[in-house]
A and B are shown apart, each in its own frame.
Chain A
Amino acid sequence: MNALIIYLILAPIILGTVGFFVSKKYPKLREVIVIGVNALEIIIMAILATLFGLNGSSELVINNVLSLGLSFKADAFRIVYAFITVFVWLMTITFSREYMSHAANKDRYYFFYMITLSGVLGVFFSNDLFTTYVFFEIMSIASYPLVIHDEKENTMKAGTTYISISIITGMVLLMGLFVLFGEIRSLSFEAIREYISINGVSSKVFASGLLMLVGFGAKAGMFPLHIWLPKAHPVAPAPASALLSGVLTKCGVFGVIIMASNIFMANEDFAKLLLAFAVITMFLGAVLALFSVDLKRTLACSSMSQIGFILTSLSFMMLLNKEGGIASQGAMLHMMNHSFIKLVLFMCAGVVAMNAHSLNLNDVKGYGRKKPFLMVIFLIGTLGIMGIPFFGGYTSKTMIHEGIVEYINILNEEGYNASAYKTVEWIFLISGGLTIAYMTKLFVCLFVEKNSDEIKQKEYDDNKAYLSIISRVVFSLSAVAILLIGILPNVVGVKITSYTSQFFNTEEVTKVAFFSWECLKGAVISIVIGATVYLSLVMHLFKNKDGRYLDLWPRWLDLEYLVYRPILVQGTMLLTLYVVKGFAYMFDGIIWLLKKTILRSTVYEYNDDSLQHRIGLLIDRIKPRKDDEEYHAKKADEVSNNLRWKFAVSDFSFAMAMACIGLVIVILFAIFA
């Protein structure tokens, strides 16, 4: 049984490599291999799920590999998420066939596509932080070639941001693991949970938690490390963006979940800290999305905002401790929803990019008119993420909201001031409203408004063959998933997530009254806010008189160029060039100095008045003994060379003698002082 996990993780790497080598001669065979592998993975996932059910779990430990050994586990959470992963992969890789049909370097693309899959599956199946880290890094590095696929200049720039953030925060994460391992002596999730339940959170463990939060948070897109998200997504090929946004960010969230449920459960300090970052992420993402005039950038910022929702829910899970079932399941459900929704939306964006060759909203305006299929699919995704009742996002957002309300109620009952959390609740609702506003903006722009350029609009209207049949099937399948969760929330969403309570270390919740007024109220408030924002801001402020969307976000307000680059790049360079370089050449410098002073080659004419020279002259005045005739004769020869009485100043042995005298003085001083 356990061998299946190994197969799942290794098959993409091995067969992806095989595909890479056969692609030169048989490009068709490569496509068969990569799609075949994904299809097989999904079948195996199905087998795994039916064999273990979602109730059971199974562990697998591989000793000795990488010396510390790797360990994997298949339980409800991992099976669900691995299933989503392979589903997203199968869908996107099938769509890639069409999307990438004219692209160069397809070998590289598919090769790294498969390696990234291995990395992601490894992360989700991992049962100790060491294994998580190993696959996390593989995934980070392997996804870089996907991001920079089109090799244009701004793509490379975005890619550099992505890989730099990945590597730097990866190292910070590793530091966190070092510290944690130093304290606990094990990194397996069970061992950590046990250790914490006995010993509590010491300051070192807390520090390691902060370091790990940097590592995982950066991948999840958490403020202030979100900077790669809005840059990398728009430039990557659409299927890759769907992966980045739908699944790769969840690897980061997975790490945060591990920390939240095993280490910091009921730790208020950490929960509040995470909550602060999460709320900023949630709100800032939504605001950035609202300002953006690029289709994929909007979706990327939206991803950031949705991750903020998930992290907020996780913070409340920690605050609520064991009763946090509603929050943990809300987070889990929102992760699932977000994966499916972003899969659909990014693939739709891919269709636009593929046919209209642009992502700027003003260029692609009106592209979706007279394309009912695309419109329905996009609409399902849009309504899903907006949180409109009967669509996926509503269920999860409601659960997250319930979690917040529950904690506020608890605080009120105990007589504490809950105003801070009240604010959080309102920011949550406002962010939900902004989500509605920016998604409406996208939808209206694509499917309702007409392009200002009539020729273009004509072109767009005539573009009937915009998607192949296979891709249409892929799109429909992905959309059905969103509908399933939305229409049958208690049967699908809550049921599945309730199995994961063991993983989250919370008590399970099996039923939520989704369509009660209490729950609907949140959605209604968000819709009202969203409609207000759309009608006031987007319709008037973000559009000029010709109906063009304006990019109002100030250019200079970019955390990367404002803070990170000056500190990291210029700081390092300054330090290296002026401080470290000095140290590095120190010894060479001393040698050079010696060569120029006491070790310089003999020159007869001295003009300097150094101390050494003066002492030398003094010594040279000492006359040899008169009766030493041989010496006199020798000296007489030297007179002709103009060397007489000047041997001391130009002699190395003299310098050595001086050094010895110095030493003797030091020793005498040491003895008598």
Chain B
Amino acid sequence: MASLMIISILLPLIGALVLYFGKLKNRNVLNIIAFAISAVVFVLSTTICFTNSLRIELFQIAKDITVLLKADIISKFFAVIISCVFTIISVFSYKYLTIEENEKKFHSFYLLTLTMLMALCYAGNLTTMYLTFELVTLCSMPLVMHSRTQESIKAALKYLYYSLGGAFVGLIGIFFMVYFSTGSDEFVLGGFLDTVKVQDYSSLMQVVIFITLIGFGVKTGVFPFQGWLPTAHPVAPSPASAVLSGIVTKAGVIAIIRIVYFSIGSAFIKDTWVQYAWISIILFTIFMGSSMALIQKNFKKRLAYSTVSQVSYIVLGIAMLNEEALSGSFLHIASHALIKVGLFLVAGAIILYTEKHEVDELEGIGKQLPVTMICYTVLSLGLIGIPPAGAFVSKWYLAIGSIDSGLNVLDYLAPAVLLISAILTAAYLLPIAVRAFIVKDKSVVLEKKQESLYITIPLVVLTILSTCVGLFADQIVEIVKNLV
């Protein structure tokens, strides 16, 4: 059964190579291959969900440095969500990519990113995780500079430098963690640190861990390293922005969960200054992301800042180090992945049909693209946290978790910041929805466009799924029960 993991990693890799080097001309075939592979990976991930824990050692890079794949509950959860969203996006890409050139390259890097993300999900030890984490950055970078304009190349380089820089900082922590380990760097719930060894150096280790968390946090857009998100998202093709925002930021989340719960153990930083400082930074990021989104004129930039704040919700849930908050985190991972991908696809649909990028131009867009904008409205309400959307339940758990955490000041400050951010979210998302359907100047004739099914079906599916996350949140909460 362990081979299932290898297949789900190798299949998109082979697909990527075939698409890149093969001489396929027909775009239908290209798209079908990309879609089929994503779908198969989704099926495989779902199958893996029903198996017991899988574990396989692939090879050794050097003595003591093994590449290890493991499918535990975290891997399964992320793998299903990532592959599901990838499948949905690949349907959308079929229609959207008609306005982009070089489709072949897009699809091959798209599948390559999927490969690396799958490998990251199944990474069983720190070394493998670091390896795949870097590869995710490298493989998703070409997606950002797909249009090959100077602006996009600059943005891609910025993304690359930020992410690599963050990962290098994280690497320092990995060295320390491996040094203080009990011999192996394989992920174990509760951490693999040698408590005796680390005892004398605990204050040093705390500094290192703080740096590591921030380093890997760069991928999640933690303050002050959120700069790459608003630069990279607007220039990338919409499906790529969706992947970056909805999925690639989650790579940072995976890394942080692996470090906090599976490498050092949550007890190590609980109630220390590390937790306080970390949460403070996250709270500031949440507030900053939301309020920056409020003043953005570019639609995708606004969504990018929204991602900065929303992904920090997730990290906040991890940082609170208790079961309730972590449940909220997991719920928010699922709902944010679905909602934010949906919102970026809406942005894509708008660009595809009307070539509008700025928020102010979107007046009356709902008359032109009714289905798209109805989906947008429901998705935005979900992101604000209006019940019964998933983000509402996740916010509930995050807040209750914060109150339970017993930290001074932060326990009540955190829910307050979450709610202020929710109000700001409403302020930057809802006016677009209202103006989309209600036009001030009635004399303007807005022609209704024929929305392709390849555009509407992914959007409707994402909208329905994001609501279902809330209604059936219990399954996700179950996952967390055994973790903390």
Contacts and interface: CB of A to CB of B under 8 A. Distances in A.
A167 B223 contact: no
Contacts of A141: 381, 386
Contact of B288 (A66, A584, A588): A584
Given A179-B412, A580-B288, A587-B227, A151 B438 contact: yes
A588 B227 contact: yes
A561 interface: no
A175 B295 CA distance: 26
A182 interface: yes
B225 interface: yes
Contacts of B387: 66, 133-134, 137-138
A148 B404 CA distance: 41
A576 B295 contact: yes
Contact of A586 (B224, B470, B471): B224
Contacts of B434: 148, 156, 159
B237 interface: no
Contact of A179 (B384, B397, B403, B472): B403
B471 A66 contact: yes
Interface in A63-116: 64-68
B474 A584 contact: no
Interface string A486-506: 000000000000000000000
B276 interface: no
A573 B384 CA distance: 20
A178 B384 contact: no
Interface centre among A68, A156, A179, by most chain B C-beta atoms within 10 angstroms, is A68
Interface in A228-261: none
A156 B438 contact: yes
Interface in B437-452: 438, 440
Contacts of B393: 66-68
Contacts of A159: 434
A52 interface: no
A584 B404 contact: no
A172 B418 CA distance: 11
A398 B293 CA distance: 54
B226 interface: yes
A134 B388 contact: yes
A171 B419 contact: yes
A59 to B, nearest CB: 21
A573 B415 CA distance: 22
A182 B224 contact: no
Contacts of B473: 66-67
Nearest to A173: B419
B350 interface: no
Interface in A572-586: 572-573, 575-577, 580-581, 583-586
A593 to B, nearest CB: 14
A635 to B, nearest CB: 35
Interface in B264-301: 284, 287-288, 291-292, 294-295
B400 A576 contact: no
Given A67-B473, A171-B419, A172-B419, A583 B223 contact: yes
B423 interface: yes
B409 to A, nearest CB: 14
Contact of A577 (B295, B403, B472): B295
Contact of A576 (B292, B388, B420, B438): B292
Contacts of B207: none
Given A141-B381, A182-B403, A66 B224 contact: no
A182 B424 CA distance: 25
A65 B471 contact: yes
Interface string A148-178: 1001010010010001000110011011001
A178 B477 contact: no
B295 A581 contact: yes
B419 A175 contact: yes
A93 to B, nearest CB: 23
Nearest to B420: A171
Interface string B240-264: 0000000000000000000000000
A584 B292 CA distance: 8
B400 A178 contact: yes
Nearest to B293: A576
Interface in B310-348: 331
Contacts of B20: none
Contacts of B438: 148, 151, 156
A572 B294 contact: yes
A171 B425 CA distance: 12
B7 interface: no
B415 A167 contact: no
Nearest to B226: A584
A181 interface: yes
B389 to A, nearest CB: 10
B158 to A, nearest CB: 9
A564 to B, nearest CB: 13
Nearest to A588: B227
A158 to B, nearest CB: 13
B423 A171 contact: yes
Contact of A153 (B423, B440, B474): B440
B216 interface: no
B223 A67 contact: no
Interface in A276-292: none
A583 B386 contact: no
Nearest to B294: A576
B1 to A, nearest CB: 30
Given A66-B387, A172-B419, A580 B287 contact: yes
A178 B399 contact: yes
Contact of B291 (A133, A171, A175, A576): A576
Interface in A401-452: none
Contacts of B396: 67-68, 178
A65 B477 CA distance: 12
Interface string B396-437: 110110011000000010011001101110110010001000
A181 B434 CA distance: 34
Nearest to A204: B412
A175 B416 CA distance: 7
A141 B386 CA distance: 9
B76 to A, nearest CB: 20
B412 A572 contact: no
A181 B404 CA distance: 10
B284 A583 contact: yes
A175 B426 contact: no
A159 B415 CA distance: 28
B187 interface: no
B285 to A, nearest CB: 10
B392 interface: yes
Contacts of B331: 67
B287 A182 contact: no
Interface in B216-244: 223-227
A182 B404 contact: yes
Contacts of A181: 400, 403
A167 B224 contact: no
Contacts of A575: 291
A174 B395 CA distance: 10
A577 B427 CA distance: 15
Interface in A154-212: 156, 159, 163, 167-168, 171-172, 174-175, 178-179, 181-182
A460 B208 CA distance: 83
Interface string A527-547: 000000000000000000000
Contacts of B423: 167-168, 171
A583 B404 contact: no
Nearest to B404: A182
A66 to B, nearest CB: 5
9 contacts: A67-B331, A67-B470, A68-B396, A156-B438, A171-B422, A181-B400, A182-B404, A587-B224, A588-B227
Given A134-B392, A583-B288, 9 more contacts: A65-B388, A66-B471, A67-B396, A68-B396, A148-B438, A572-B424, A581-B292, A583-B223, A584-B292
Please list the 4 inter-chain residue pairs (A to B) with the smallest Cβ-Cβ separation, ordered nearest first. Answer: A182-B403, A67-B473, A134-B387, A587-B224
